[in-house]
Amino acid sequence: MNPFTVVTSRAVSLPLDDIDTDQIIPARFLTATTREGMGSHLFADLRKRVGFPLNAPEARGTAILVAGNNFGCGSSREHASWALMGSGFRAVVSSSFADIFRSNAMKNGILPVAIGAGTLARLHRTIGEAPDTAITVDLERQTISWPGGSEEFTIDAFAKQCLLHGVDELGYLLRHEGVITLYEAHRARGGAS
């Protein structure tokens, strides 16, 4: 996993609530058996629409997606995170995230930045008026800032350390082999199930 420390980039504004993972990557692209190549399917159906913000020239090369409330609801497909990552996105900003999307994103080096609804609305306006605005997401300090605004965000302390150091959780779990074996033995003896 790529570490996440500080990312500064222009951002794409996608001011829609409840963007579900079927929109992020439609199901017909889920027959793949690898993680590669998902970036080209990001928002595949929405991209066909005239005026879709990701089609704008200034959207090219951006690493931050600013969405509406409740980003990533619906299906558990991690392909949504692979598609965002594959398109160069490192942070998604919203006022709230669906639980499974949030978990998947952080396991792939994508930072979900949850800020207040008022700040989010201001940020959308700022990007709408000045698409070149540079936005900085600093994970260590847990801040998002841009000329004219900034806000702190919260993040699970454990997930933060994993992201900062690019560590995946599997290694941590495997180091607990001993206690897992003890637990299984306890259960086999008729302990709590």
Can you give the binding site for other proteins, defined by CB under 8 A?
15-18, 20, 22-23, 26-28, 30-35, 45-46, 68-70, 73-78, 81, 96-100, 103-104, 107-108, 117, 121, 124, 156-158, 168-170, 172-174, 176-177, 179-180, 183-184, 187, 192-193
Rounded to a whole number of angstroms, the minimum distance from the CB of residue 36 to other proteins is 10
Q: Are strands 91-94 and 64-67 parallel, antiparallel or unpaired?
A: parallel
Q: Which is nearer to other proteins, 46 or 54 (CB)?
A: 46
Rounded to a whole number of angstroms, the minimum distance from the CB of residue 107 to other proteins is 4
Q: Which is nearer to other proteins, 61 or 171 (CB)?
A: 171
d(CA 174, CA 98): 27
If DSSP codes are grouped into helix, strand and coil, which group holds residue 163? helix
Ranges of beta strands (E only) in the chain are 6-9, 11-14, 64-67, 91-94, 111-114, 135-138, 143-146, 149-152
Rounded to a whole number of angstroms, the minimum distance from the CB of residue 74 to other proteins is 6
Nearest-5° angle of CA 40, CA 41, CA 47?
A: 100
Partners of residue 91 on adjacent β-strands: 64, 111
Helix, strand, coil percent content, the chain, rounded in steps of 5:
40, 20, 40
Rounded to a whole number of angstroms, the minimum distance from the CB of residue 138 to other proteins is 21
Q: Which is nearer to other proteins, 71 or 146 (CB)?
A: 71
Rounded to a whole number of angstroms, the minimum distance from the CB of residue 179 to other proteins is 5
Q: Which is nearer to other proteins, 165 or 176 (CB)?
A: 176
Q: Which is nearer to other proteins, 6 or 27 (CB)?
A: 27
